[in-house]
Structure 1
Amino acid sequence: MFRKLDSFLLCLLATVMLASVVPCRGVGVNIFNTLAIIMIANMFFLQGARLSRRAVMEGVTGWRVHLAIGLCTFALFPLLGVALHTLAPDLLEEPMWTGVLFLCCLPSTVQSSIAFTSIARGNVAAAICSATLSNILGIFLTPLLVGLVLARHASTGGGGGIGPIVLELLVPFIVGQVAQPWIGAWAHRHKKLLSFSDRGSILVVVYTAFSEAVVQGLWHRLPPMQLGRVALVDIVILAIVLGLTRLVGRMGNFERTDRVAILFCGSKKSLASGVPIASVLFSHADVGLIVLPVMIYHQIQLFACATLARRLGAQAEGAD
């Protein structure tokens, strides 16, 4: 599991390097932009096709856990991002702060949230339902939160409006849900094959976004010190959220297994959803800079939560 995730990160880094050395130009820009739109729509279509109605209905039963995770994902994170921006507005350049605030508005991950919950011997069923529900709500809530947060705390606004969000994200997802009774079983049988489609769409979007950014002078606009500061801000955000999610689990008198699910699902942010949503919400010239904090946070959360999950799993085995 972790090797696959790490290999994907290497592919992301290779894509960024390729875009830095050989960015697409001229007619290639239109070709890659069109390809990115098609692949994003296909990704959300397959997400809808793979999600069973039963999973949605089962998610309702553990509403306290889902509510806690949802509040951490869509309330705690944005408030924390706004607070950090208010306290240290000059720490990062404005496009980087936009990326950090956008990161705070994203839904939770699915694969890593479930994997870490399982390793830590938590409530895997709740993690599956909450992570899935988070990604569904993210289609609606992330653009709304981005609009609210960036309208007051950043100069780089969204460039797409509601139309592209509906056409590229929501409509394909709904169509996938409608088609789920007929193709859902096929989608589940070919999870590995379809995961290449998901990751391929992210790589295409990243290449397109970074190509545009490089042509606009990305590496001249972004000193190396800024990357270190972005990583520091991401680490601070993750550390605070991990501490607060543990506190929420204890103060809410949740069972241990539920506390584990809240800890790992409530502290994750989805790179898989973040890159496509960014390409819809922001202008192509800004997407490359804006997704950098998301990519950095993605790797930090994997390392930190993998270590934490193994420790909690060992503690649970010792208690047994």
Structure 2
Amino acid sequence: MSALTPLKRLFTDWFLGGMLLAVTLAWLFPDVGKHGGTLHAGSLINAGVFLVFFLHGINLSTEQIRKGLGNWRLHVMVQVFTFAIFPLFWLAANKLLGGQVPPALMLGFFYLCALPSTISSSVALTGSAGGNVPAAILNASLSSLLGVFLTPWLISLVADANGGIDLGQTLLDLSLLLLLPLMLGQALRPLWGRFFARYKRYTGIFDKLVILLLVFASFSDSVAGGVWQQQGPETLVAAFAGCALLLALMLWLTTRSARGLGFNHEDEIAAVFCATKKSLAAGAPMAAIIFGASPVLGLILLPIMLYHQMQLIVCAVMAERYSLRGRALAASAA
């Protein structure tokens, strides 16, 4: 793969262009997408999120998950990084820099740190790098399920100092909107799994369209509430720099940890890619439920929007290097 390929992806990715368009439209027409606005985005988003997680459930291979059950050290490492190491890093950063970063942006960084791992990109990158795909499927899926409960609980620990959230109601809403359709999809998989498998490629497209609607609605609320008028370009610079630093540190820590635990080449790949990923697909709808129609929701979502693109570009480069290393190891063992 050419060194320019990740940059080419950055400029040709329709989803990135869609996010920029959604933000621009929110800036120009906030009354259309805001809570209670012309579009009634809240109802559309709820219906779209329910359908997305139903499709994820019906396409999720339980056989592949069972194959990945054995390597418990790998599973523990991924979940500890996802729900403990990331938030602990934020606590340290908040102690050092919390007073110099807008509170809503700092909360956005914590929200990023509290999110579960992705499923699709973690598995796809692990596969292209020659890693342990069943383990990646298990860990990414487990992370998504745990995130329904752990992410709002972690947010409640920080949000308590800022008015708090209704944790019980939030967990109920998340279970009905995310967990219920996922379980329903799994239950119906034996009957309809083959039918939906024919159209699996469209699930990712629909998933991204729902996220774009969420971004439009969130930024519409922020623009209508005057949040962005209060922020300068230094806010965007701080968000970009913070995401870059966080990704670089976590990639280094997970790589060192995997090798320190004696993982083989395939398990190291799965551990690094699953433990450093953060899910925009789960993060956007969860934010709408956890934070409601908060005028600062656009600012809270900014870190995960930036981190999402960074992790795809950087990990695509890493996947190619891991693949070359795997071929070299196979050749030397032959």
TM-score by length of 1: 0.92
Q: Give the unaligned 5+ runs of structure 1.
A: none
1:118 corresponds in structure 2 to 127
Following TM superposition, by how much is the alpha carbon of 1:29 offset from its aligned partner in structure 2, in angstroms?
Answer: 5.0
Aligned match for 1:104, one of 113, 133, 154: 113
- Residues 67 and 135, structure 2, Cα contact 8 Å, conserved in 1: no
Query: Is 1:22 aligned to residue 29 of structure 2?
Result: yes
Could you tell me which runs of 5 or more consecutive residues in structure 2 were left unpaired when the two chains were aligned: none
What residue in structure 2 maps to residue 283 of structure 1?
292
Tell me if 1:137 matches 2:146: yes
Letter aligned with residue 312 of structure 1: Y
Give the Cα separation in 2 of the matches to 1:308 and 1:236. 17
* Stretch deviating more after TM superposition (46-55 or 64-73): 46-55
Mapped pair 1:13 → 2:20 = yes
Structure-1 separation of matches of 2:41 and 2:217: 6
Partner of 1:259: 268
Structure 1 residues 142-151 or 105-114, which shifts more? 142-151
2:85 alignment partner in structure 1: 76
Counterparts of 1:233-248 in structure 2 under 5 Å? 233-248=242-257
Give the stretch that moved more between structures: 195-204 or 162-171. Answer: 162-171
Number of the residue aligned with 2:74: 65
Q: 284-293 or 168-177, which moves further after superposition?
A: 168-177
**Aligned pairs for 1:82-97 within 5 A:** 82-97=91-106
Q: Which whole-Å deviations, capped at 9, do the CAs of 1:12-66 have from their partners, x for residues lacking one?
A: 1111111111223485357211111111111122222222332343332222211
Q: 240-249 vs 52-61, which deviates more?
A: 52-61
- Measure, in 2, the Cα distance between the counterparts of 1:195 and 1:122: 22
Structure 1's 58 and 314: CA in aligned 2 closer, same or farther, altered over 3 A?
A: closer
User: RMSD in angstroms over aligned alpha carbons?
Assistant: 2.2
> Are 2:38 and 1:32 equivalent residues in the alignment?
no
Which letter maps to 2:328?
A: G
The AA in structure 2 aligned to 1:20 is W
CA 1:229–1:119 in structure 2 vs 1: closer, same or farther (change >3 Å)? same
CA displacement 1:98-119 (0-9 Å, x = unmatched)? 1000000111112221232233
Alignment correspondent of 1:309: 319
Residues 245 and 262, structure 1, Cα contact 8 Å, conserved in 2: yes
Structure 1 residues 215, 113: closer, same or farther in 2, change over 3 A? Answer: same
Report what 2:308 is aligned to: 298
Q: Is 2:238 aligned against 1:226?
A: no
Q: For 1:303 and 1:194, how far apart are their aligned partners in 2?
A: 22
> What is the letter of the counterpart of residue 315 of structure 1?
R
The question of whether the paired residues in 2 share the 8 Å contact of 1:245 and 1:267 is answered with yes
| Equivalent-residue separation in structure 1 for 2:163 and 2:50 (angstroms) | 25
Alpha-carbon distance in 2 for matches of 1:63, 1:115: 21
Closer/same/farther in 2, CA of residues 256 and 30 from structure 1, 3 Å limit: same
Tell me what 1:52 maps to.
61
| SS state at 1:305 partner | helix
| Distance 1:158-1:47 versus aligned 2 partners, 3 A rule | farther
User: What SS does the aligned partner of 1:173 have?
Assistant: helix
SS at structure 1 position matched to 2:70: coil
* SS of residue in 2 equivalent to 1:61: coil
1:156 CA drift (Å):
6.3
Residues 42 and 172 of structure 1 are in contact (CA less than 8 Å); yes or no, is this contact kept in structure 2? yes
Secondary structure of 1:266 counterpart: helix
- 8 Å Cα contact 1:74/1:105 also seen in 2: yes
The amino acid across from 1:188 in the alignment is A
Q: Any conservation in 1 of the 2:82–2:117 contact (CA below 8 Å)? A: yes
Assess if the C-alpha contact under 8 Å between 2:130 and 2:323 holds in 1. Answer: yes
One-letter amino acid matched to 1:210: F
Written as runs of structure 1 = structure 2, the 5 A alignment for 1:171-182 is 171-182=180-191
What TM-score, normalized to structure 2?
Answer: 0.88
- Going from structure 1 to structure 2, the CA distance change for 1:171 and 1:114 (only over 3 Å counts) comes to closer
* Superposition deviation, residue 6 in structure 1: 2.4
| CA–CA distance in structure 1, aligned partners of residues 283 and 165 of structure 2 | 14
| Aligned residue pair count | 318
SS at structure 1 position matched to 2:37: helix
1:141: Cα distance to partner? 1.8
1:178 & 1:116 partners in 2: Cα distance? 28
